[in-house]
Structure formats: C-alpha cells, structure tokens
Amino acid sequence: MNIRNLLLILPVILTLSCQEQKYADALSPEASMATFDLHEDFVIELFAAEPHVWDPVEMVFDEKGGAYVVEMPDYPYKPEEGKGRGRIRLLKDTNGDGMVDESVIFAEGLPDATSMLPWKGGLIVTSAPHIYYLKDTDRDEKADVKEVLFEGFFENNSEAQITNLRFGLDNWIYAANNGQPGDVSYLRKPEAGKISMRGADFRFRLDTDEFELESGTAQFGHTLDDWNNKFFTQNTLHLQQAVIPRRYLERHGHLSSLNVNLNISDHDFEMFQQTPPPYWRAERTRRRNIQYQEQKLDRVEHAEKYFTGASGGTVYNGDAFPEAFRGNIFTGEVAGNLIHRDVLVKNPNDPVFTAQRAAEEKTREFLASTDPWFRPTSFAIGPDGYLYVLDFYRQHIETPVSIPDDLKAEMDFMYGENHGRIYRIRPKNESERRPATVDLSKASTSQLIELLAHPNGWYRSNAQRLLLEKGAPENQTSLDDIIQNHETPQTRLHAAYVLEAWGLLTAGHVDTLLTHTHPEVLRHGLQLAERFPPLKPTIQKLSAHENATVALQALLSLGNHTDKESLETLALHLAKRGENRWYRTAILSAKGVTEPIFLTALFEKAGFGSTEDTWKEEVIRETAYILGSNGEKKSLETYTQYVTKAGEAWQKAGLDGLSKGLKKHEETKPELKVFLDALAENTENPAELLKLITSNL
C-alpha cells in the first residue's frame, strides 16, 4: 500500500478505533453475568436469553404459570402507522431445567406495547394509544381476539406512555400514565364519555365497567404493596409515593393543586454505579455545565452516580427471600447498570413511608454490573417466589431527541435489538430450586379461597382475581369466617374484597374489619365503610386514632359527609393537625369545606383565629382559594367575616388565595376584574379589599 492510500484510509481507521473505545460491544449471557456484583446472600441465574427473547420490558406469569413477555424492538423510535413490531412471547421450559428453551409469538404488530395483565384467560395489554384485550380461543397459543378496551392515551414518547398494569387489592386495575395528556374513552361503555388524563395516572375495572383518574405520575415503574399503597418511579426520582387517592382530591373540584407525589427516599439521588458514564452522556454533561456556568445558574448536572434512568420499581411480596426482604422495593437503573433496593419504613406518627438503604447496602447496591449493556427495565415475582429481572440489553438506552446531533451521529440506537435476557434471583442457601410449575385455571372456588392465605403474594393476588372472574358461588360462608378470625391481616382483606367483587359485602363484614388492630386493615375498613352510612359514627371516632395512617384515612372518609357533626369534626382536626401537609390536604378536600357551617366551626369551635402560626397562613390561603374558585357568595361572606378580624398576615394570605381562586370567574363575572386589578396594585388595606370583593360577587 502506498503512502497516499494509507493517508486516505487513516482517518477511517482512527474513527473506528475511537468508536470502539467509546462504546463497548455485547457480551454473552454468561460473560455478562460474570460482571454482576450481587448481594452475598443471593445467586443469580439465567432464565431466558436470545433467541427466545428480545428487548424485554415486562413479564407476567398467568394462572397456568405461563411466562408472557412484552418485547419492545421499536424503542426508542415511534413506528410508522401499522408497522409496529412490538411482540408478546410465551416462554417455555420444556425439559424442566429452569431455563427457557422454546418461545411462541402470542401476539405481534403492537406499537409501543409495554405491559400486560392476565384477565379471563387472556391478557390486557397497554399499547398506546390503546389498551387491548388479547385472547387465544382456539388453543394454538396465538391471540385470535384483539379487542380495544380503551383509546385516547398519549402516544408521542415511548418512555412516558400508558403502562405498568397492576391488579390492586381493591379489585381495581392500576396503570402508569406519567401525567400525560389524552382524552380517554372506554369502548365497552361509550356513553360514559371521555376523561382528560393530563396530570394523572389511570385505574379501571372491567367487572363493573368503571374507569377514572388516579393520583401519581408514574413513568415506567409502578407498584402496589400488599396493602395497595402506591409507589412509582420517574427517571431521576427513583421512589415516590402517591399519598392520597385522586377520588378524594376531586370531591369539590377546587383544590389549588392535585399533586400528592412525595419523594420518600432518605438518600435522594445517589447510587453506587460500577460502569463509567457512556461517552455521549459525559460529553453532553460537560457541555451543559459550561452553559450553566456561563449563564450564572446555580445548577450542576451529573453524568454518573446519580439516578437518571430509574425504572420498573417492584415491591417484593414473594415467599422465597428472607423475611427482611419482604416489602422491599427493587428498582432498575438502566443508565447506571444496577439494581437498587429500598427498605420501606413507616412511623406510626406519620402517614407516609420513608425509603431507606438496607444496613448492608450503605455503600453498594443490591446488584451492580460492569457491563454497560445491562439494562434492568423491570421485575416480576414468580409463583416460585423468586425475583425475575428483565434486561433490555442494548448498547444505548436513551431518547435520541435529548442528545446533541454530533454525538448522536456516532450512535446506533437499534444496535443490540436482537438481544435480551431474563434472570432469576434466589437465595444462596437453598438446597434446591423451587419449581415454577403451577396451574390454577382448574382450581375450585374453595381451593382458590384457601390460596388467599398463601405466603406468596403471586398466589394471593391471582386467587383473588380468579375468584372475581368466577363469580359468587351459592355458599360463601368460609369467607365470613376468614374476615372474622383469620390470623393473617392480608388474608382478611383479600376475603373482604372478593365479597366486594361478588356484591356480597355487608356492613357487618366491614364493621368486623374496623375492630382489627392492624392499621392497614383499619384503613381498608374505613374505605369500605364509605359505602355504608350507618358506619359513619365509627369513621368519625377513628379520625382521632393514634396511628397516623388510620387517622388520615378516617379524615378522608369523613370528608364524604356534609352534616354539621362531620364538618365540625373536620374543622377541629384541621386546627389540631393542619400543620401536616397530608392532614391539611385530606380535610380541605372534603365535600363540605365550602359550607358556612365548616367555616364557622373552624373559627369559633376550633379557635382557628386565636393564633397566627405560619402553617395556619397556608390554611387561610388555600381555603380562600377554594372559596374563590367555588364562587359561592354566602360562604365567602362568612369567611371574610372572620378573616378581616384576624391579623394583617392572615388577611394578606386570604387575599392572595382569594384573588387566585377568583381568576377562574373572570370570564363569567367580568365585574370582578376591577377588584382583582385593584388587589394587584394595592394591598395596604387588605380587610377592606376582602369586603369589597365579596360584596360585589
């Protein structure tokens, strides 16, 4: 080769060399597993790999023990109309050695399919903008029924679309929507109209044809614990709790904010990553930090060791792990190539959880890999009680629109699309692996009722779902006995919700739950008591319960009532407990908070006007907002009567809330504009302005 030709090809050689250094290539499943640094009490083994699974994002075991996997080969691009390549595979272990050796395509051509839930012999599947019901009716292991259940969900970002279907303890099916917009309708009940999804997640029931908004803005990682507490993931916030269900927040429709998301991590964003950041992320971060410095912004971006791709958070409620791991939440970090574990702690004096690192993981992760292709997107609990890890296994996992063009030019976002792994994590000290073989499809009603007490949550949840699907038998006295006498609190609740699904739950059943000592049994008893008006005195009594979880739920449930006694009780508790954000929100969401009776009780019976603590200013501001938004003159006059007698700080807080609430009426009541303009320009005499605005409503 002459020197001229060498000089011509040298830049190409150097470019290829640089690219090889920038981005590692794939490893075999065995080589990748060798890079895992796992908690010393566990072993990890291969369950499935290519060619039997590609691009896995979620797996479920149905009642027959069948392992169905959603594959997302189109990620990160949106497929053309009618050309989606999303698949659902049924994985098979034909020789019983614990590894998948065969797979069947159950369904394909699904754009952006991301999650599934077994239902009546088929699968409910999220595939934006739809939720489908797929079923194999001719027993060839391929779906021949494809029904659109819901339509209208957001579909313009594969990382933030409808996903993570979860069957709840309360018989509702919950889904993550990331707060994305969309006008959603239910095709089995078109007369129900559409709901606007912006700012919320979603829940529905196919047995009762109900659907509604739910609190939280879960991205990809949405999980319910044994008690139906909801936790979720959003990229940089690896664990949040949705503290108050949406149905309570919408009762009068005038709260200033419906955001009840709470970051419950006590260790914030730090993680112990063993892989260096990929070249594109490090370079993008370097450029952004230069921009922040030039703009004199008090902001620093991190390229590593901080959560940026948290995904698939899952409560472990199996029975194979040691007791200390029950109720822990496992979260994948697809950018950091690791699995993080949180231990949930509940203080009886606080209605929310705290997520902590385990003592042995203060400076490490439950699992961390040095393979940059390891992308743990989600998890599943099997009938064997083990934790299954889904590894998307791609060279790159990121939305291309967020990467500068010059860096993007060196990246092939589809590289590795024919890879995928699923691992099984089990305790190291087991003498032999538990089998996952099971078939509940032929179980009798009595057998399913017995499984409501199984130590593995997979059995309990599936038994409850199957009992719901089967419908009520002629005799169900065994459930009465479980509610009254069973030693396991979870089992009592499963039994109660089976009766609820069958339409056989009585006030007597609920009253029994309300005498239990476990706070979560009491919480669910209170929610169910809302259906039985004679139980209102018990709800009212429990609002003073010493346990914060019970007290918060009692106040939420009491807020459905608008009688004088209930409103006075709520007012007393607002004055006593309102410093806590969650009690304050619970009470101010009550139906009757806009009634003069409540306002009078707040100031006269609860003595709210006697002191001017800072937190009380916030109550004054929010109450004023609610009343201004509601626009009922009598209530505003009552409120003004008391606030104008309070200190100037309260009056200003009241004006601030009132002006913001009244802005909702600018179009319907244009005469208010002159007073709102005056308010914006002059707050020297807030008491007079309050009276003036109220008198002109």
The amino acid present at 683, given as its one-letter code, is: T
pLDDT tops 60 at residue 565: yes
What is the predicted pLDDT for the residue at 679? Answer: 56
**Interval 70-120: pLDDT, tens:** 999 999 998 888 888 999 999 999 999 999 999 999 999 999 999 999 999
User: Contact 238/228 with Cβ under 8 angstroms?
Assistant: no
What is the predicted pLDDT for the residue at 4? Answer: 42
**Interval 161-205: pLDDT, tens:** 999 999 999 999 999 999 999 999 999 999 999 999 999 999 999
User: Contact 274/37 with Cβ under 8 angstroms?
Assistant: yes
User: Contact 271/337 with Cβ under 8 angstroms?
Assistant: no
Could you give the CA distance from residue 547 to residue 545 in angstroms, rounded to a whole number? Answer: 6
pLDDT tops 90 at residue 452: yes
Could you give the CA distance from residue 22 to residue 17 in angstroms, rounded to a whole number? Answer: 9
Residue found by looking up tokens 């700012």 in the block: 199
Percent of the chain with pLDDT over 70: 92
Q: For the chain, how big is the Rg over CA atoms in Å?
A: 28
The closest of 310, 332, 333, 306 to 387, measured between CA atoms, is 332
**Interval 128-148: pLDDT, tens:** 999 999 999 999 999 999 999
Please provide the DSSP assignment of 184-249 as one string: EEETT-GGG-EEE-TT-EEEEETTTTEEEEES----S-EEE-TT--EEEEEBTEEEEEE-S-HHHH
Determine which of 295-304, 310-319, 385-394 has the lowest per-residue pLDDT on average: 295-304
pLDDT tops 80 at residue 16: no
Determine which of 58-62, 265-269, 678-682 has the lowest per-residue pLDDT on average: 678-682
pLDDT tops 70 at residue 671: no
Across 205-220, average pLDDT: 97
pLDDT tops 90 at residue 514: yes
Name the phi and psi angles at 616, rounded to 5.
Answer: -70, -30
The closest of 200, 176, 215 to 313, measured between CA atoms, is 176
**Interval 369-380: pLDDT, tens:** 999 999 999 999
Could you give the CA distance from residue 381 to residue 434 in angstroms, rounded to a whole number? Answer: 13
Is residue 96 classed exposed, middle or buried when 0-12, 13-18 and 19+ CB atoms within 10 A define those classes?
A: exposed
Q: How many residues does the chain have?
A: 697
Tell me the pLDDT band of 9, cut-offs 50, 70 and 90.
very low
Across 246-259, average pLDDT: 97
Helix axes 519-529, 548-558, angle to 10 degrees: 0
The amino acid present at 392, given as its one-letter code, is: F
User: Contact 81/25 with Cβ under 8 angstroms?
Assistant: no
What is the predicted pLDDT for the residue at 79? Answer: 86
**Interval 463-495: pLDDT, tens:** 999 999 999 998 778 999 999 999 999 999 999
Tell me the pLDDT band of 2, cut-offs 50, 70 and 90.
very low
**Interval 382-415: pLDDT, tens:** 999 999 999 999 999 988 988 999 999 999 999 9
Residues paired with 262 in a beta bridge: 241
The amino acid present at 248, given as its one-letter code, is: Y
CA-CA-CA-CA dihedral for 196, 311, 119, 502, to nearest 10: -70
pLDDT tops 60 at residue 12: no
- Reported as type and span, the H/E element at residue 550 is helix 548-558
Preceding omega of 473 cis (within 30 degrees of 0): no
What is the predicted pLDDT for the residue at 672? Answer: 63
Across 651-655, average pLDDT: 85
Across 412-424, average pLDDT: 96
What is the predicted pLDDT for the residue at 697? Answer: 63
Query: pTM value?
Result: 0.94
Instruction: Give the list of residues 6+ apart from residue 446 with CB closer than 8 angstroms, or none.
Output: 478
Q: Number of helices and strands (H, E) in the chain? A: 21, 28
Pairing verdict, β 310-315 and 329-333 = antiparallel
The closest of 109, 137, 110 to 126, measured between CA atoms, is 110
What is the predicted pLDDT for the residue at 329? Answer: 98
What is the predicted pLDDT for the residue at 608? Answer: 83
pLDDT tops 90 at residue 288: yes
Across 646-653, average pLDDT: 83
Preceding omega of 129 cis (within 30 degrees of 0): yes
Tell me the pLDDT band of 682, cut-offs 50, 70 and 90.
low
What is the predicted pLDDT for the residue at 436? Answer: 87
Percent of the chain with pLDDT over 90: 79
